[in-house]
Structure 1
């Protein structure tokens, strides 16, 4: 079967498996269900192999979907291998407490084209396609926004930004400029999907660096643009116990890759493959990606895919009885994670 369909179905089923734990106030169970769904859905596929470049963490910190894990056709050395960035559930906290902001997502690219990101913070600026040649993060977000406003000849650009204390000042500055800001609790990858789907003009803010690779794939696959810059842990949490050890790890990684916190990274610096593909499915979702619904034995799932500048939004219906008769691997998940 076409690997795109397989990967789209994988994120959809991961969302379905996690549906059981929406609102149960246990984000680990949300994540565990999605992780198992990924493993079950991909373990019997043939014709390709996936190497996790950005995933759940190192081997000793995660049961599966860890960095350098392989999925897919592990028995045939001749099949092509693809790099993968994966977040089984981006926004486990929104799912656990049943508010908008959670999706299942994965992106792939050709082997050795995806940069393995450290567990660092990252400043990210993701803009829609018409602004691709206008942005320069090294000049600061305000100068960029002024340039976009001049280009559009209007002030009321639509921005999505994480509602975090570190963004309070910039939120106030954007408001003074006339920018319409939509604040979200979690999920800048989901916010970037909204930009692609025309629900916003840009996403800005400081979030996780591993998610930056997912957003970079989305930018390249959809024709949008992203620039980013790594942020040291002590800039966000200067007085935490783990700050010193985190800084040591971050500095070692940046030295290894000849990158520092002044380096402006393009989407292509993170994923050097124009043929990268991006997939997502809504859990509690929000914006242009709708939340999963269940009614009378059927799951209604909103999926999303981008590749080669083509953007696809899907509405899929999983009839539990029909699928159980045709797909034993999905039946296993349906039975285990039945609500």
Structure 2
């Protein structure tokens, strides 16, 4: 089967499996359902292998697809292997409490083109195709915004940003500059999809570094642009007891991955492949992506994919009775995770 269709179906079924636990206040159950869906959907596929370069759950011991795990055709050594960054549920907290901000997502590129990123904080700026030549994060976010406003010849650009204390000052400054600020609680990857779909001009903020690989793949595959920089834990949480321990971890991670806190990382520094692809499906979703829904024996899933500058927003219907007959491996998931 076509590899892109396989991965599109994988994120869709992961969203369907996790649907059982929406609003149940247990983010590990949400994540575990999606992880199992990924493994079930990919374990019998032929013709390609996927190597997990950036997984999830390493710090909080959540159910996870671990770094180095191989998915796909494990029997044929001659098939091509691709790098993947994966988050079976990006936004487990909003999914567990049933508010906007969660998706199932995966991105892939040619083997040995994805940079492995540590479980650290990262400053990220993701801009639409209109502003790919106007940003230079080394000059700071305010300078980038001023250049984008000059280029657009208007002040009222739309920004999506995580509503966190660490962003208080920049949010206030953007409001003063005339930027229309949309605050979100979780999900900067989902926010970047909104930029691609034209619902905002840029996403900015400090969030998780591994998600940066997903956003870089999205930028490359859609024709947008992203820049980023690793951030010290103590800059975000200066007074926490964990800060000293994190300093030692961060030093070890930087040495291991040959990274630093000073370099501006372009999207191609994170994913060095023009043919990178990105896939996502809405769980509780929000913005331009709709949440998964169920009615009368059918699941309704809104998915997204991008490659080579082509963007697709896809509505799919999974008729449980028909799918169970034609795809018994999915029947197992539908039976286990029916609500």
TM-score (norm: length of structure 1): 0.98
Distance (whole Å) between structure 1 residues aligned to residue 59 and residue 65 of structure 2: 9
- 1:298 maps to what in 2? 298
- 2:248 maps to what in 1? 248
- 1:200 maps to what in 2? 200
Alpha carbons 1:120, 1:230 under 8 Å: kept: yes
How does 1:111-260 map onto structure 2 within 5 Å? 111-260=111-260
Alpha carbons 2:209, 2:230 under 8 Å: kept: yes
**CA-CA distance at 1:252 after TM superposition:** 2.4
Alpha carbons 2:31, 2:62 under 8 Å: kept: no
Distance (whole Å) between structure 1 residues aligned to residue 74 and residue 325 of structure 2: 27
1:69-90 Cα distance to aligned partner (Å, 9 max, x none) = 1110111111100001000000
Alpha carbons 1:101, 1:186 under 8 Å: kept: yes
How does 1:1-339 map onto structure 2 within 5 Å? 1-57=1-57, 61=61, 64-339=64-339
**CA-CA distance at 1:260 after TM superposition:** 1.6
**CA-CA distance at 1:130 after TM superposition:** 1.6
Distance (whole Å) between structure 1 residues aligned to residue 138 and residue 151 of structure 2: 19
Alpha carbons 1:57, 1:67 under 8 Å: kept: no
Distance (whole Å) between structure 1 residues aligned to residue 193 and residue 320 of structure 2: 28
Distance (whole Å) between structure 2 residues aligned to residue 62 and residue 51 of structure 1: 19
Distance (whole Å) between structure 2 residues aligned to residue 261 and residue 60 of structure 1: 23
1:152-185 Cα distance to aligned partner (Å, 9 max, x none) = 1111000000000100111110000000000000
Distance (whole Å) between structure 1 residues aligned to residue 60 and residue 50 of structure 2: 20
**CA-CA distance at 1:249 after TM superposition:** 2.2
**CA-CA distance at 1:58 after TM superposition:** 5.4
Q: Secondary structure at the match of 1:49?
A: strand
Q: Secondary structure at the match of 2:279?
A: strand
Distance (whole Å) between structure 2 residues aligned to residue 244 and residue 2 of structure 1: 48
**CA-CA distance at 1:284 after TM superposition:** 0.5
Alpha carbons 1:59, 1:66 under 8 Å: kept: no
**CA-CA distance at 1:259 after TM superposition:** 2.7
Alpha carbons 1:215, 1:226 under 8 Å: kept: yes
Alpha carbons 1:59, 1:67 under 8 Å: kept: no
**CA-CA distance at 1:11 after TM superposition:** 0.2
Distance (whole Å) between structure 1 residues aligned to residue 35 and residue 50 of structure 2: 15
- CA shift in 2, pair 1:308/1:294, >3 Å: same
Distance (whole Å) between structure 1 residues aligned to residue 243 and residue 327 of structure 2: 47
Distance (whole Å) between structure 1 residues aligned to residue 288 and residue 224 of structure 2: 16
Distance (whole Å) between structure 1 residues aligned to residue 123 and residue 59 of structure 2: 27
**CA-CA distance at 1:56 after TM superposition:** 2.4
- CA shift in 2, pair 1:60/1:157, >3 Å: closer
Distance (whole Å) between structure 1 residues aligned to residue 251 and residue 128 of structure 2: 32
Aligned residues: 339
Q: Which runs of 5+ in 1 are unaligned?
A: none
| Alignment RMSD (CA, Å) | 1.4
Distance (whole Å) between structure 1 residues aligned to residue 106 and residue 117 of structure 2: 15
**CA-CA distance at 1:57 after TM superposition:** 4.7
Q: Secondary structure at the match of 2:113?
A: coil
